[in-house]
Structure 1
Amino acid sequence: MLLSALWCWFSVGIVHGQSNLKNINQSLRYSRYSRISPKIIPIKTGEREFLLQMPVEKIEENINFEDYTFSYVVVEDFNEEINEKNIVPLTASDIKKDTDRHFYFEKSITIPLDQKEAYAVIICKDTRQGDQYVYHADLISPFIGDIPSFGAYYDNDIPFDQTFINKGEALLFKSDKSMNLYNYFYPQDFEIPLPPMETRPAPVAKDIQVIDNGEFLVNVPQPFGDEGYYFVQSDTTEQTGFMVKTTNAAYPRVSTYDEMIDKLVYISTRNEHEALRAAEDKKKALDKYWLELTHDTEKAQNIIREYFRQIEFANILFTDFKEGWKTDRGMVYTVMGPPASVFFDADKEIWIYDKIGSKSKISFTFARIKNIFTPNYYKLNRSRSYQPEWFQSITLWRSGKMAF
């Protein structure tokens, strides 16, 4: 009876205001204080059939399943209404695995033959305070190729729900079909993105080096030994596969003084940054840099902690074949902080911030671009109009006043 009451309350909350994927605020996806992190990882099992793998990461300690309601829905486009007619609840009996780090659900679905697009959505609601966590994934859309018929898993058989692992670690690849997988390694590094007000074209990347690491079998752990990114395919004639970024052991955190200096590029002047990179004693140079900015040891310590916490979250949230802080979204997130509102459409993602010291708002639009390595590749629509707010945020960082 209690579960039914909770579900009714949850459903009413979802459908209020005619909810659809286009108008649901997904800002909790990028919050520094989220308690859970749901994902959908689809596996193609037939021509129009998919297995929806839905791991929900437990960020909150000592999490109770009863404190949340879980559901999923498959919609034809971002405008289709999400309501009690198409939402499917996920109850305790639907849990496939309950581990220290995840609740894990699975559901098999079939898309009608005449349906041109399909998107799967998981919706999790914290019944204690009403927070709503939403995550969606393309099943059939113009922005992805075919969905792989194999998946990557942790050693406890939970689907791999990140985009990066530390080099030397292994993943288990599984499929219900017998197949060989092909493993390609890209030892690529990338330049930092241009700032939001820089409208000139970004430098064109050099030729990408690719190393063919040969074949391996499914259902056997596969190690990834070098730092860069890997692309795994079952059919090399198709533009479909699995990409994972490999990183140093400390990632997503910053662990060395050289890394700290590299990542200060967003809030330092060119002369400051060049002087830091050239310094023989990096620690001494960094200490001097922060103290000259803030003129206060405690304030300097606080702002160092905040800034590199932002870098860590950017790496967690936005890593693809680039480190998260080097992506357009990671850059904006680092400097501006978590957005107040986040809205998606099939071809873009929009972040809205309350303007600093103003009642008006500023928005950043990230255009979605089809990319064979990741279904979530976004480029910022740059504009000179961003310059005042961008420099204002940098000034707050440099004065020790930016905090989240």
Structure 2
Amino acid sequence: MRYPFIVLLLLTLNAGAQTLRDINYTFLYNPAEPFTFDVKVTRNATGWTAFYSLTVRDTTQRADQFLVQWDTRSSLGDKEGTPVTSESVAKTLDKFKVEGELKVPLSSSPLILTTKVLNNNLKHAWLFWRILEPNYPTNGFLTTGTKPVTTPYVKVNTPVTLRGDEGARIVSYYGDDFPAAVPAFSEGMARVSRGLHVDTTMTMTDGQEISFPRKGLYLVQKDTLSAEGVAFRVEDDYPRLARIQSLADPLIYVCTRQEFDRVKAAKGDKKAFDRVILGITGDTERAKHFMRTYFRRVELANQYFTSYKEGWKTDRGMIYIIFGLPNQIFRFNDREVWDYKDAMFKKIEFTFVKSSTLFDPDNFVLIRDKKFQETWYDVIDLWRNARFN
């Protein structure tokens, strides 16, 4: 999720209705949840279609024990919404997965599509939501075989098919190696330019199967002068990084310049790479703990926050890697607020504001401040001594 525009709420089944804006969304980016829930929404001339997939992680549960309900709301302040009729919803079910789609008529004003997932055995319900706007999401989506791609990335050389009703389209490829986010105390904000240099273009027709051999950012448009398109990344060794040469770049957040140069120079040489890590942690067992913990968070950042660039490079990805899962998350139309209350680094709050781009209308950037500098270096020191769980 991998949930760039979906929010997750955990509440008891007998809890009263609550407004979506007043909830603590700590569980939004929690890998310990009993299932994953992915949604991909596309738009055409008559309305929106939402493709969804619920996959059970907890094998003591079955997919048929989860009930998925839908409604639409006009604002995050609404406690309840208008139910989506069962005639508008289709689904398939196997032991550990529920997949389906639903249709919502086009509206001249924004709607909030809300999903409630109920599990009577666990006595819990989860709420997901995303905003539907008259001009967004865009017309078009990718499939692998017959299944819609619900992630913002596909693997190199994986056959995919463009679906939609706009005929031939232009595919623009951007080979930019986007920079990693800068520390939270930097005064700059890591915005992406609205106009990047196009490396190559090609034509793709709705219904045509194609595979992409090069890593990078792709944008599919009917008209390259338009302000909308379907963007996705093509990746290899992702979201979990397994190759030695893939591990170097994410270490930029915890390395000195000299250490980073050395770890980059190691390339595929595991012994040279291990020497740098051992030099950082000072101990073999601490080095092993550091690598397990750090790169598990890198993997999760890639799952949750992949955008026009890799998830670990984004502002939310960086904070998630360094500070971990927040104690509290509050989410609004235009921002996310993450609160941490930890004995190791005191109380700290990060705010991410929505900064829409052609490549990612749900892009978020961190409001940076010099006040974070002392805490930042304290936490980096904890990492370098492998004192994080």
Task: Indicate the TM-score class for this superposition, using the shorter chain for normalisation.
Answer: 0.7 to 0.9
Question: Alignment partner for residue 181 of structure 1, among 169, 179, 190?
Answer: 169
Residue 234 of structure 1 aligns with an amino acid whose one-letter code is K
- Decide whether the 8 Å contact of 1:95 with 1:103 is kept in 2: no
Cα 1:290/1:77, change in 2 over 3 Å: same
Matched residue, 2:251: 264
Cα 1:52/1:277, change in 2 over 3 Å: closer
Task: Kindly indicate whether residue 364 of structure 2 is the aligned counterpart of residue 364 of structure 1.
Answer: no
Matched residue, 1:26: 25
**What is the TM-score when the length of structure 2 is the normalising length?**
0.86
Name the SS for the 2:82 alignment partner: coil
RMSD: 3.1
| Whole-angstrom CA distance in 1 between matches of 2:267 and 2:153 | 32
Matched residue, 2:144: 154
Matched residue, 1:51: 49
Residue 128 of structure 2 aligns with an amino acid whose one-letter code is Y
Cα 1:286/1:131, change in 2 over 3 Å: farther
| Whole-angstrom CA distance in 1 between matches of 2:258 and 2:191 | 21
Residue 68 of structure 2 aligns with an amino acid whose one-letter code is F
- Residues 87-106 of structure 1 correspond to what in structure 2 (within 5 A)? 87=83, 95-98=90-93, 102-106=97-101
| Whole-angstrom CA distance in 2 between matches of 1:290 and 1:316 | 25
Name the SS for the 2:13 alignment partner: helix
Task: Kindly indicate whether residue 133 of structure 2 is the aligned counterpart of residue 137 of structure 1.
Answer: no
Q: CA deviation at 1:307?
A: 0.7
- Decide whether the 8 Å contact of 1:38 with 1:124 is kept in 2: no
Task: Kindly indicate whether residue 240 of structure 2 is the aligned counterpart of residue 245 of structure 1.
Answer: no
1:368-394 C-alpha deviation (Å, 9 max, x unpaired): 012111232000011122223322221
> Which deviates further from its counterpart, 180-189 or 287-296?
287-296
Q: CA deviation at 1:102?
A: 3.9
Name the SS for the 1:245 alignment partner: strand
List gaps (5 residues or longer) in structure 1.
1-9
- Decide whether the 8 Å contact of 2:266 with 2:273 is kept in 1: no
- Decide whether the 8 Å contact of 2:192 with 2:357 is kept in 1: no
Cα 1:98/1:182, change in 2 over 3 Å: farther
- Decide whether the 8 Å contact of 1:146 with 1:239 is kept in 2: no
| Whole-angstrom CA distance in 2 between matches of 1:337 and 1:153 | 32
Name the SS for the 1:103 alignment partner: strand
Residue 107 of structure 1 aligns with an amino acid whose one-letter code is L
Residue 180 of structure 2 aligns with an amino acid whose one-letter code is I
| Whole-angstrom CA distance in 1 between matches of 2:25 and 2:69 | 16
What is the aligned-residue identity percentage?
23
- Decide whether the 8 Å contact of 1:111 with 1:118 is kept in 2: no
Cα 1:273/1:100, change in 2 over 3 Å: farther
Task: Kindly indicate whether residue 81 of structure 2 is the aligned counterpart of residue 124 of structure 1.
Answer: no
1:88-147 C-alpha deviation (Å, 9 max, x unpaired): 5979x955223577412322222554xx32121222234343454433222117xxx443
Q: CA deviation at 1:203?
A: 9.3
Aligned residues: 380
> Which deviates further from its counterpart, 272-281 or 189-198?
272-281
Residue 138 of structure 2 aligns with an amino acid whose one-letter code is P
| Whole-angstrom CA distance in 1 between matches of 2:68 and 2:194 | 45
- Decide whether the 8 Å contact of 1:40 with 1:122 is kept in 2: no
- Residues 1-400 of structure 1 correspond to what in structure 2 (within 5 A)? 13=13, 16=16, 18-47=17-46, 49-61=47-59, 63-82=61-80, 86-87=82-83, 95-98=90-93, 102-113=97-108, 116-140=109-133, 145-155=135-145, 157-175=146-164, 177=165, 179-200=167-188, 208-248=196-236, 250-278=237-265, 282-357=269-344, 361-400=347-386
- Decide whether the 8 Å contact of 1:365 with 1:381 is kept in 2: yes
| Whole-angstrom CA distance in 2 between matches of 1:268 and 1:380 | 21
> Which deviates further from its counterpart, 190-199 or 295-304?
295-304
Cα 1:130/1:235, change in 2 over 3 Å: farther
Q: CA deviation at 1:211?
A: 4.0
Name the SS for the 1:77 alignment partner: coil
Name the SS for the 2:379 alignment partner: helix
Residue 340 of structure 2 aligns with an amino acid whose one-letter code is Y
Cα 1:273/1:216, change in 2 over 3 Å: closer
Q: CA deviation at 1:71?
A: 1.5
Cα 1:386/1:132, change in 2 over 3 Å: farther
| Whole-angstrom CA distance in 1 between matches of 2:33 and 2:323 | 18
| Whole-angstrom CA distance in 2 between matches of 1:108 and 1:396 | 49
Name the SS for the 1:39 alignment partner: strand
| Whole-angstrom CA distance in 2 between matches of 1:340 and 1:11 | 16
Residue 381 of structure 2 aligns with an amino acid whose one-letter code is T
List gaps (5 residues or longer) in structure 2.
1-9
Cα 1:225/1:62, change in 2 over 3 Å: farther
> Which deviates further from its counterpart, 384-393 or 132-141?
132-141
- Decide whether the 8 Å contact of 2:116 with 2:127 is kept in 1: yes
| Whole-angstrom CA distance in 2 between matches of 1:274 and 1:131 | 48
**What is the TM-score when the length of structure 1 is the normalising length?**
0.83
Name the SS for the 2:187 alignment partner: coil
Q: CA deviation at 1:232?
A: 1.1
Name the SS for the 1:135 alignment partner: strand
| Whole-angstrom CA distance in 1 between matches of 2:34 and 2:319 | 23
| Whole-angstrom CA distance in 2 between matches of 1:101 and 1:151 | 25
